[in-house]
Structure 1
Amino acid sequence: MTTSTRSTIVAAEAVTKTFTTPDGRALPVLEDISLRLSEGEIVALLGKSGSGKSTLLRCLAGLIAPSAGTVAYRGTPLTAANPGVAMVFQSFALLPWLTVQQNVELSLQARGVAEGERRERALRAIDLIGLDGFEGAYPKELSGGMRQRVGFARALVVEPDALFMDEPFSALDVLTAENLRTELVGLWEGHEAPVKSILIVTHNIEEAVLLADRILVLSSNPGRIRAELTVDLPRPRDRRTPQFEALVDTVYGILTGRAEATAAASGPAAGRPTATPITVPLPEASVGGLAGLLEILVGRGGEDGLAEIADELNFEVDDLLPLVDAAVLLGFARTANARIEITDSGREFTVADILTSKQLFARTAARNAPLVRAVVQALTATDDRTMRRDFFLDLLRRGFDAADAQRQLDIAIDWGRYGELYDYDAHDTRFTLEPGAEAAL
């Protein structure tokens, strides 16, 4: 049975979500998203930070209402929490004063299920998820993996139409996460899990390819569906097969597609809007991490596959994304078909002495990184070449929430200090332009 002929459980039509900042400004998070979750499929929402994955999940669960568009459960528009959905969270979200069994029974209790039936169904779910023997244990007595099993049992005990999972394995160590993923697939394939569909939010490319029948790749700021891919691979899936690796490379190529951002960062042109700190945010990468990636590329002859680099370093491929984004944004590297190649300027930066590399980085960051450029330009425009942090935070909050605005400014401080473009005094929260920095613009 194809997806198109299966019964639709949850549908979103033209969903847009905009939050309002404390000072009354609009903060767009999702824009014009339409999707369907049908019976018999696992769908992954994949995207970087700022893509609105978790916000979309909460809209589909009826926990928050979209600003525009509709979400429907089996054809009925939602006006409250989705009655056919149960959720598993990254943070476990267990009540520490309740036992395993009591935590699992909570969702049944909220639905008015009688005590005897609650106990029977909770024990069955606990057994299904491999926690039998721990019914009377408290969360503090359990490992992270066991606590997440309680989260799964609590969701499955209500036998929902759809199981929603928000980064459910990201707080676990690698081996525990892999074990839980394998068990989840086993329950799904064996039709033991009392659910008709699964929707998982993740930033992990391999996790999405391992689990999902379909992958929806979201772009960022605001979140839109950039691509939809069908995963036509039998389960259990082997990471080492050419088909698996090819699909990971395809998704990786979509996520690292920075052509528009790079073109915008290189300067205005006819019909192209000028890049701003909002439209082209700084990747969460340190200068040292960026330099390390470029050194690896030089050592590999200047070019290699992103998956191959990650594998040799024992990282997930998506762990490299911020470093790759930073290298591409600054013009030190370019990507194509899930491969990365160092540019002439990137090679020059890598092999230069420390003083020259600082000068090269300063010039490149001031021209290609919009927030760094904005800081230098603002400081240049003042009489005393100083400015308070809050000026930049207020501007950034037009496009980011408070935490992301601060993260963006922290990255800009790191990059600007390395390039000796400006200094930042954390005590009086002031930026100061370094002598001669305006020449880098």
Structure 2
Amino acid sequence: MTQALLIDLNQVAKSFKATDGKSRLILDKVDFQLKDGEIVALLGKSGSGKSTLLRIMAGLIPADKGKVAYRDKDIYGPVAGIAMVFQSFALFPWLTVQQNVELGLEAQGVPAAERERRADAVLELIGLAGFGGALPRELSGGMKQRVGIARALVTNPDILLMDEAFSALDVLTGETLRNDMLKLWQDKKISTKGILIVSHNIEEAVMMADRIIVLSSDPGTIRCEVKIDLPRPRDVDAVEVRALIDEVYGLMTMRHAHEATADTSNARHLGYRLPDTNVSRIEGVLDMLADVPFNGRADLPQLAEESELSDEELFPTYEALSLLGFAVLDKGDIILTPMGQKYYEAEKNHKQELFGQQLLTHVPLAAHIRRNLEAEVSASLPEQPLLELLEEFLKADEAKRVLEVAIEWGRYGEVYEYDYHTGRLTLPEDTEQKAS
């Protein structure tokens, strides 16, 4: 029997304007379908356009190119049959739980008595019976997200879009809520015909989804798809589940052809984009990798479990270790390089020196800053021209984040200094003394 098509995206593209007025491509040539009776998980690194894609499907923002359809009808704005759950809960703090849940029904013109009846029913379904009169500030994070889910479900949506819906919760609360949602789905206690989940959590995706879509970055395009035929509920420790988790980790760390081209092409971002991680996390993961029981080679899911860090924290750290030449990624494994081993064994001062050397060798932005400082008579530069350079390729907030990462890495590696009061970068004092 052919599954009915709920959502159909064909050659979808989306751009945003940077502060300098230039257009930045976020999504390009995205083809995607969500069918009746399936749960699909959407994975991708930061900057891959996952949330943007979800908002296009919800009708919250338009696509620039391509076709976006719900049950064969083009989407031009919010659709009654599609509901969305946000990571940030997005509750109105001055409204009670009951009033927050009733909002969507009120917008649809549902009479007050019917709104109350349906809100009561969905609050009981989601495990919040008796909390209708509470204000959001009186609830835990898990309860707030249950309200967000109840508000989406009360409209009896065909499609439920979940944007990092469990990521703001602690591990146990997130797992409990995820399992409760799956049980409602399996027992057909909700009218929803299809669910699309955006997630950073690979284990979560494997435990929930019938298909996993992996997006590449800059711009976001569909890199690959993993079909999962295992029945639910799934045992996270089962051999088949662990194998799938390992496979998806490998796919997430594999570089797509167009990403590799972008990194070597001056026409795009000159390799100036930096992973969102800090020196402390880089060293912590490197130390774990070098030490027992891994001894220089680790299975990524196992390392994630041992580190107790989220995939959202780990993937940029893996990328940084690879970028700096301290480790290499091989499918679902991460392997320490000889330089990584040397760094692990070095004393603190020598560590900083090695970090600085690798930074200048492998990170174009750091090398660019250093060259410009050495060319200045004052050995000093304001940060603003660097931000403007980055904003040619990145959105303003991303440019600011990248520069902050470059400053932290450079200060640790004693490649340059930064004055937080004046916003100026300078050469380290010992470098200036040697030069004079």
Range of TM-score over shorter length: over 0.9
Map Cα deviations across residues 147-183 of structure 1 (whole Å, 9 max, x no partner): 1111111111111110011111111111111110000
Residues 102 and 52 (structure 1 numbering): CA distance in 2 closer, same or farther, change over 3 Å?
same
Map Cα deviations across residues 254-289 of structure 1 (whole Å, 9 max, x no partner): 111248699779x9xxxx535975656211222232
Equivalence for 2:224: 227
**Any unmatched runs of 5+ in structure 1?**
none
Q: Distance in 2 between matches of 1:125 and 1:222?
A: 39
Does residue 202 in structure 1 map to residue 199 in structure 2? Answer: yes
Equivalence for 2:289: 297
Q: Distance in 1 between matches of 2:186 and 2:270?
A: 43
**Any unmatched runs of 5+ in structure 2?**
none
Report which stretch shifted further, 350-359 or 224-233. 350-359
Q: Distance in 2 between matches of 1:226 and 1:250?
A: 14
Please say if residues 18 and 30 of structure 1, whose CA atoms lie closer than 8 Å, have aligned partners that are also in contact. Answer: yes
Please say if residues 99 and 138 of structure 1, whose CA atoms lie closer than 8 Å, have aligned partners that are also in contact. Answer: yes
Q: What is the one-letter code of the residue matched to 2:63?
A: P
Does residue 214 in structure 1 map to residue 206 in structure 2? Answer: no
Alignment of 1:405-420 (within 5 A): 405-420=399-414
Q: Distance in 2 between matches of 1:188 and 1:87?
A: 16
1:85 to 82, 87, 90: 82
Please say if residues 60 and 82 of structure 1, whose CA atoms lie closer than 8 Å, have aligned partners that are also in contact. Answer: no
1:114 to 111, 115, 126: 111
Report which stretch shifted further, 221-230 or 281-290. 281-290
Please say if residues 10 and 73 of structure 1, whose CA atoms lie closer than 8 Å, have aligned partners that are also in contact. Answer: yes
SS at match of 1:384: coil
SS at match of 1:27: strand
Report which stretch shifted further, 377-386 or 241-250. 377-386
Q: Give the aligned length.
A: 430
TM-superposed deviation, 1:426? 1.2
TM-score of the aligned structures, taking structure 1 as reference length: 0.92
Equivalence for 1:365: 359
What is the percent sequence identity of the aligned residues? 47
Please say if residues 216 and 259 of structure 2, whose CA atoms lie closer than 8 Å, have aligned partners that are also in contact. Answer: no
Equivalence for 1:19: 16
Please say if residues 202 and 245 of structure 2, whose CA atoms lie closer than 8 Å, have aligned partners that are also in contact. Answer: yes
Residues 117 and 143 (structure 1 numbering): CA distance in 2 closer, same or farther, change over 3 Å?
same
Map Cα deviations across residues 356-383 of structure 1 (whole Å, 9 max, x no partner): 3222221211121122122223323433
Q: What is the one-letter code of the residue matched to 1:311?
A: E
Q: What is the one-letter code of the residue matched to 2:283?
A: A
Please say if residues 261 and 329 of structure 1, whose CA atoms lie closer than 8 Å, have aligned partners that are also in contact. Answer: no
Alignment of 1:153-302 (within 5 A): 153-258=150-255, 273-274=265-266, 277=269, 279=271, 281-299=273-291, 300-302=294-296
Map Cα deviations across residues 117-171 of structure 1 (whole Å, 9 max, x no partner): 2122111111111111112222122111111111111111111110011111111
Question: What value does the CA root-mean-square deviation take over the aligned residues?
Answer: 2.2
Q: What is the one-letter code of the residue matched to 1:402?
A: A
Q: What is the one-letter code of the residue matched to 1:417?
A: R
Q: What is the one-letter code of the residue matched to 1:158?
A: T
Report which stretch shifted further, 243-252 or 280-289. 280-289
Map Cα deviations across residues 172-228 of structure 1 (whole Å, 9 max, x no partner): 111111110000000000011121100111111111111111111111222111111
2:302 to 293, 302, 308: 308
Q: Distance in 2 between matches of 1:263 and 1:381?
A: 31
Please say if residues 6 and 38 of structure 1, whose CA atoms lie closer than 8 Å, have aligned partners that are also in contact. Answer: yes
TM-superposed deviation, 1:297? 2.2
Residues 125 and 331 (structure 1 numbering): CA distance in 2 closer, same or farther, change over 3 Å?
same
Report which stretch shifted further, 19-28 or 255-264. 255-264
Please say if residues 278 and 396 of structure 1, whose CA atoms lie closer than 8 Å, have aligned partners that are also in contact. Answer: no
Residues 147 and 119 (structure 1 numbering): CA distance in 2 closer, same or farther, change over 3 Å?
same
Does residue 422 in structure 1 map to residue 416 in structure 2? Answer: yes
Does residue 336 in structure 1 map to residue 333 in structure 2? Answer: no
Alignment of 1:8-87 (within 5 A): 8-87=5-84
TM-superposed deviation, 1:237? 1.0
Q: What is the one-letter code of the residue matched to 2:246?
A: D
